[in-house]
Structure 1
Amino acid sequence: MLTVAPPQGWSYALHLPHDPRAPRVARMTLRAALAGHGMSELIDVAELLASEMVTNAYRHTKGPASLRLRSVRAGRLRVGVWDSSPFIPAPFDKPPGVFGAPMPPMDSDGGRGLLLVRECADAWGGWPLGDQLFGSGGKLLWFEVGEGVACGAGVAV
């Protein structure tokens, strides 16, 4: 019997319109992809962090966004969110280990999402993009998570 082994790496790209339902669509897509590739242990943290980044893309830009999921190696996931603004927000504008953004006031409705991404992801980053990529510039924010990720221990959000 001839069998075909699945490829080691995989990736998905989801183009999202500027719509308040975009974070929900991104979460559903991420859940389905990770479950389908046997990475269910990453769903909760990856869903939370991707949702924060897609929500920011919707709230802080007027254009579309894009979600990209990619297996980096066994048990490891990279999530990227592109949007139309070239502005790299704090705390992603600083290298790992350097926190340039203070915590927002406790009664604030926002301002914690990207801090949560930095705190819970194994790696993260952001790049402003030129006009040649995606056709409209903007930026790409990304994070990586892997097996054994434990988000929430000591994180005050």
Structure 2
Amino acid sequence: MDERMPEPPTEWEYTLQVPHDPLAPAIARATVKLVLDRHGLPELADTAVLLTSELLTNSCRYAPGPASVRLKWADKRLRGSVWDTGPLLPRPATYPAPEADGGRGLVLVELCSSAWGSFALGRETGGAHGKVVWFELLADVPAGMAA
């Protein structure tokens, strides 16, 4: 009898649904770290945790309803995204004054990601509404890793 574990998938996707709750960003940070560590991508974990936290914190601050966090790994690329019920797309990142209390989240997303963006979801589609804000991180990992 062969008791070896099956080979993990080379592509995967996780979704975490969270209520409109101030604890959601902390729960998402822990989840993102766990997923990336378990999939052999610890070098992406700190950045992915930071960017996910920024996007979900904005969601909790500006959107009225629940949210979801999605992580998708394919082709040595991690895409993180946050869906929420807020109708307004984020403005392009602008550098706040040094004394400003906020406004640095999207600057961090822009500086730390390979790419980022957002798109609206309309009620006319009959499905989800709101928006999705996403980021991508590229990994240079040996073949067979990060499965």
TM over 0.5: yes
Q: Which runs of 4+ in 1 moved over 2 A?
A: 1-4, 131-136
Task: Report what 2:129 is aligned to.
Answer: 137
Unmatched runs of 5 consecutive residues or more in structure 1: 92-100, 149-157
Distance 2:127 2:26 in 1: 25
Question: Structure 2-normalised TM-score?
Answer: 0.86
| 2:19 counterpart of 1:17 | yes
Structure 1 letter corresponding to 2:114: D
Change (3 A) 1:128 1:31: same
Change (3 A) 1:77 1:133: farther
Unmatched runs of 5 consecutive residues or more in structure 2: 141-147
Task: Report what 1:110 is aligned to.
Answer: 102
Change (3 A) 1:102 1:42: closer
Distance 1:127 1:21 in 2: 25
Report the number of matched residues: 138
Question: Structure 1-normalised TM-score?
Answer: 0.81
Identical pairs, percent: 47
Change (3 A) 1:108 1:141: same
> Among 12, 27, 30, which residue is 1:28 paired with?
30
Change (3 A) 1:107 1:44: same
2:22 counterpart SS class: coil
